[in-house]
Structure formats: structure tokens, C-alpha cells
Amino acid sequence: PCLRCVVTTAAGLDHVDLAECARRGVAVAGAGETFSADVADHAVGLLLDVLRRISAADRFVRRGLWPARGDCSLGSKLSGKRVGIIGLGSIGTLIARRLEAFGCTISYHSRRAKDSATISYKYFPSVINLALESDVLIVACSLNNQTKHIVNKEVLEALGKDGVIVNIARGGNVDEAALICALKGGGIAGAGLDVFEKEPEVPAELLSMENVVLTAHEAVFTVESASDISDLMIGNLEAFFQGKPLLTPVLPEQML
């Protein structure tokens, strides 16, 4: 009952009961944009790896298969790809900017369209329609009741057999069973996954797939971000105890 402030060092807020905090008048400080650039870099890295088969080629060489089998199977170019981003917040926007530099065409889905004066990307109110017009879907939204399994069987079917999924958001944003089924059956071409539904457990089916790149929910973690988030956490705590505004408060509309 004495709780007055919650400070989280996580990129997301799905582990904090924001509505109850708002009801009790408990202030919440998040990570702000501390991790945004690192996560955006990681998303692009996963996409490049899946398309150009970098990890697969590394395994091919290390296993001594190059002399025996000749060249590795061909990958696919990134430039010119139509990329749909689910969630055009801080992270999604930075991913879009990076992929624009590769010559990709960017579209997006969010709760609402962004101001067209600052965001020129095409907006899709439907994730299925976004998938129909994309070669790649990148999941960069928060996890809540509205976005759980936002990528489901129907979205994967709309993306199609040449499509690629990258998820750097939360495992629950993607229907993992439907994803595995699509990958096994050739319904989509590949996936780059940093997050999973039951971490740290990863489905065995994914571990054996050459067209899937897996990382251990590490998109946020760099030497620089670890230092930055420590400074931010201390700064928020100092602000709270000194009666000053929090450095990275969670806005009231995010808590309702």
C-alpha cells in the first residue's frame, strides 16, 4: 500500500499492470528510447541473415561441406524488398529508416495512422492487408490483449511462400504454432526470431530449420545499452526521491 513508484529496465511494459498502477496513483518509469537503436539494428541484422543465409553459410563452411558440395544455396537480396512494420513506434521508426537506406519500400500497421506530415509510409489499418502487400513483416509492437497473436495463420497465409517474418517484439505477438506450421509446409520462406512464447524454451522444430535464425532475446543488449539503462534507472530513482519529474515516465494514456 505504500508503493508510489515502479521503475523498469525492460524495453516493454507487458509485465507491469499499468491499469492498476494508474488506479493506485503509482508512477511508472520505463526504459524510454534507450534500447530503440540497438533493437532496430538487431532487426535489420536478423533480416539480412535470413535473406542472405549468413548463419546457414557459416555452418556450411564450418562443417566442411564447401569442398564436398560446392557452392551454398542462393540467398535473396534485401534491396527493393517491400517491408511491412507492425508497430511504428520508436523502434519501428528506426527500423524503417535503416531499411530505407537499403532501398526498401516501407509500409506499416499501428493502432492509428501517424501524422502524414512527418511519416510518409503507407498505412494499413489491417495487418492482413499489410501482409498481402509485403515481402517481409517485422513485428515491433508492444504486447497487450489487442496484439497477442497479431501475426496468426491468416496473416502468414497472406504473406505467402516467399515471405519472411522478423520478430523483435514479444513472443506472444506471433502465433508460434502457426508459424512453425507455415515454415514446415513452405507457407513462408523464413524467419528471424529474437523472442519466443515460452522463453527460454524454444520449440525443437525451429532448432532444426536452416531457414530460421534464432537469438536469445538479446536485441536490447549491448555494452552501451547496459551502461545507458543503468544511468537512466539511477536517474529515475533520484528524481522520484527528490520529488522531481521522472526522466522517462509512462504516459497516462499508456496506462489505461
Categorise residue 10: left if φ over 0, alpha if ψ from -120 to 50, beta otherwise. beta
Q: Which of 5, 3, 7, 27 is nearest to 234 (CA)?
A: 7
Active-site annotation holds for 15? no
The single residue of 52, 82, 98, 217 carrying the catalytic annotation is 217
The single residue of 20, 154, 199, 218 carrying the catalytic annotation is 199
The single residue of 109, 170, 176, 197 carrying the catalytic annotation is 170
Q: Which residues pair with 83 in a beta bridge?
A: 106, 136
Q: Count other C-beta atoms under 10 Å from residue 126's C-beta.
A: 11
Categorise residue 196: left if φ over 0, alpha if ψ from -120 to 50, beta otherwise. beta
Active-site annotation holds for 170? yes
CA angle 73-79-101, nearest 5°?
A: 140
> Which grid coordinates belong to 78?
534485401
State the catalytic residues.
170, 199, 217
